[in-house]
Every structure is written in structure tokens, then in C-alpha cells.
Amino acid sequence: MMKVQIENKENNIVCTITCLEYSHRSCNGRVYVDAKRARNMLMEGGHNPGLLIKDARVDNKHSQLSGTWVFEDANKTKQQVVVIEEEAPQTPKARTSNSRRKNSRKSKKVLDNSPKDVIIEE
């Protein structure tokens, strides 16, 4: 069981949610509410939440039984025009040489005596 209280204060929407403990007899199950779910509840109720001012979390299984979220009211706040400055495209870095050493096990070693210099006597 969960109680939701929604209040409009100045340019903000205040949403307070309280619930019963998980081990309570009349509790139907686990209740977990974060900012995303609180925003969805407000939108279903006909409100238009903007930016999140105060965050909270309700989880009746971990004894967090009440929480208060404060959102800006997007209907009442003035729309601010944001100018995005375009950055100059970055040039890729010059490639540097690879500093890995050659694996000596894979390279073929040069023998001291070449086959021409070796004399086989019978």
C-alpha cells in the first residue's frame, strides 16, 4: 500500500510518497520508487515535471518508507533559449611509433656457422 501526495508550491511540484513496511500484514508486496518512477506518476496525474531539484528513494524492503521529490513545474517556468556553440572539428592525433618489443622466441636466430663453412668428414 502506497500513499502519494502531490503539492504545487511556487514553481515547483512536490511529490511525497509513503508506504508500509514489507513485513506488514496488509502490505501487498515490494514497493520501489526512484526519480524515474515518481516522474511517470506525476505525468500520469496530469502534471508536467521539469528538472529534478531534490531526489529520494523509497524501498520498503530496506526500511526506506518515505521519500520526497521536488521537480520544477515545466508549465510555470520560463522557457530559456539555450545556444549551443559548435566546436571546431578536432584533428586526429599524429600516430606515434609502436613501442612494443619484438618477441625473441618467434624471431629466427642466425647460426654462427653457415652451411657452406661446415665441412663434413667421413
The model's pLDDT over 18-67, given as tens digits with 9 standing for 90+, comes to 998 888 888 888 889 999 999 999 999 888 888 899 999 999 888 889 99
Alpha-carbon gap, residue 42 to 105, rounded angstroms:
67
C-alpha cell, 43: 505525468
Q: Is the pTM of this model over 0.85?
A: no
Alpha-carbon gap, residue 32 to 12, rounded angstroms:
23
Q: What is the pLDDT of residues 74-108, one digit of tens each?
A: 887 655 545 567 777 888 887 777 666 666 666 66
Please name the residue that has the C-alpha cell 506525476: 42
What distance, in Å, lies between the first and last C-alpha atoms of the chain?
A: 102
Q: CA separation (Å) from 20 to 3, 12, 40, 55, 94?
A: 9, 27, 21, 20, 62
